[in-house]
Structure 1
Amino acid sequence: MPIAVLLITDRPEQSVKLERLLSLWGPCDVVDLHRPMKGGQAPSRLLVSDVDLSNRGAVEAVRDRLAEHRRKGMPLLCLLRDRSARLATQANAIGASAILPADLPTKALLDEIGRILDPGGMRPMQRQFMAASAAVADLLTAASEGGPLPVTAVEGSVEAINRAADDRDLGAWLDMVWNHDDATYQHCLLVAGLAAAFAHALGFPESARKLVTSAAVLHDIGKARVPLAILHKSGKLTVEEFEILREHPQTGYEMLLRQGAFAREVVEAARSHHEYLDGSGYPQGLKANEIPDIVRMITICDIYAALIERRSYKAPMAPDEAFAVLVAMGPKLDADLLRAFRAVVLPG
């Protein structure tokens, strides 16, 4: 798949969040300034420099790496760690189209990149998607680093996703999510968009919609502690890797419970979204009435999202085929909720 964004950095170990954000616009390739340049593909949309330009050697190295792309007129965004006029001059000298502080808040950074790539302005749904993506980025970064989860980020993402659901254009939301190249972000935003549309279709009041969408945003938060090599593996997981992955519901539950800032239904959804009504799920093997309605909704959205996700190694399942898989699961899922979900994903 052609890359959309090329990120050149002198701190690759710290660039995971930035890489994930840039993946909103398609596949992002990361180049370590301190390693030999490999003959990779040319980006189709944007060049980004996250390099300390106070070092003259680094400036020359960046200039050398960018030369071919700049000749083709590719826009270049320079992220500066020091807002001095000297570094701004260095950025301009290597051909920067735009200069931004490296510590710019996530949402502001996404908005500025959106303006660079789409000078005509974003549609309301796009703005809501960017706001949700920025919040999810902050959320997953905090979770992976072991810090407290940013409650305001969660609330911001829920508000943006629910307002997008108000537009009743699930297809537009899915199209934007599918463009995201990071598997974890894509799945989180898919499930959240589906859950928000589901709650809206069921006529839930605003408070209940916030609860459902919050549960969807946070349902897989435990995956932030799963090694990326396992999450992004394209082949079949080993038995050991699968066991590590299966720990994410309990991990997420403990993270949310420990912080004490989230509703009980949201915390339970993180632990129980892989439970089935017939008792065949995990981690507790819950049955029937032991599984709350919100969890049942998230489980349906979670499975459906996994089936329609786009990956480099697999084609997405068509909506009618994915829904047929849910129906074939029979007593594992709530039949009444599944019938209601059909109108959400297969309208008409």
Structure 2
Amino acid sequence: MELISIGFPLSDSPLASKSEQLSVAIGHFDGVHKGHQNVIKRAVDAARQQGLKSAVMTFHPHPKAVLGQGEQYVSCLTPLESKLAQFAELGVDYAFVMKFDHSFAGISPERFVFEVLAPLGVRHTVVGFDFRFGSRGAGDASMLGSLGQEVGMTTEVVEPFLLQGQKISSTYVREALDEGNMALAEQLLGRPYEVEGVVVHGHARGRLIGFPTANIGLVEPYTTPRLGVYAAQAVIGGQLYPAVLNHGMKPTFKDGEKAPVLEAHLIGFSGDLYDQTIRIRFISFIRPEHKFASVDELVAQIGRDRDEAARQLAQLGSEETSTVSRNL
């Protein structure tokens, strides 16, 4: 997959020399959940059927964050780099990352079609049923189809992807994370929810009490699940490790933390992880975070948490473990 960063106005068509004609899925696609995947797969299928190249057009940063329409959009389910990796796995030929700024936000639906899509060689677009575009969301899927006809472009509108009668959406994924319902989040995404960070120095207290932890500094402003203890999988250097993870404020030690921290104890691992990149896959919620009366009580509970995490992870079975390993 080829990455092409663009802005408005286009200086020229980045594909002019190739004379490519495209089938494009358009959207922000935060999370790249099953609903998003369905839209993108339709663009890929249409490209094959019509002899076109497939593409995705996404917008960065999130339009609602730029326009100040919601603090929740400052955080993300899927950072751009991870999003692009998901696009590539879906068989996309080109990924257009449109810089979303106030200038682009102010263009009309007509200008988007005539001055962005048409010059890029778009011949077929695929969007979700609730797609909006242009200044103040003035354009919808129906308008995209009408305007597209003027430049020889067809439009396909994809109906919502449902799970037990409820529409799969990024909001639905965020709600599942807020509840610590990692099984539901995985169903919506089609994969475990994960974050990536770098192992940083902490208080080294875990090592002193017999449970060394990797303190994780997130590399992007991820949306994180509810506070508590989780069974997790840690990916480091292409290796997969079972883990028990605490996402919380460490109330027992009164460290004066002002923001939640992520600490992962890798079960059965020994070694130095400082400064290494680590990917955490949240598998299941074990319990809320508690303040304990003594360090001894905390140590005993961590031991039970570790055993419970190991038990739950073992239940994933050899087939799922094999699938995870292939995706490293």
Structure showing greater relative contact order (alpha-carbon pairs closer than 8 Å, 6 or more residues apart): 2
TM-score normalised by length of structure 1: 0.33
TM-score normalised by length of structure 2: 0.35
Which of the pair is proportionally richer in strand?
2
Which of the pair is proportionally richer in helix?
1
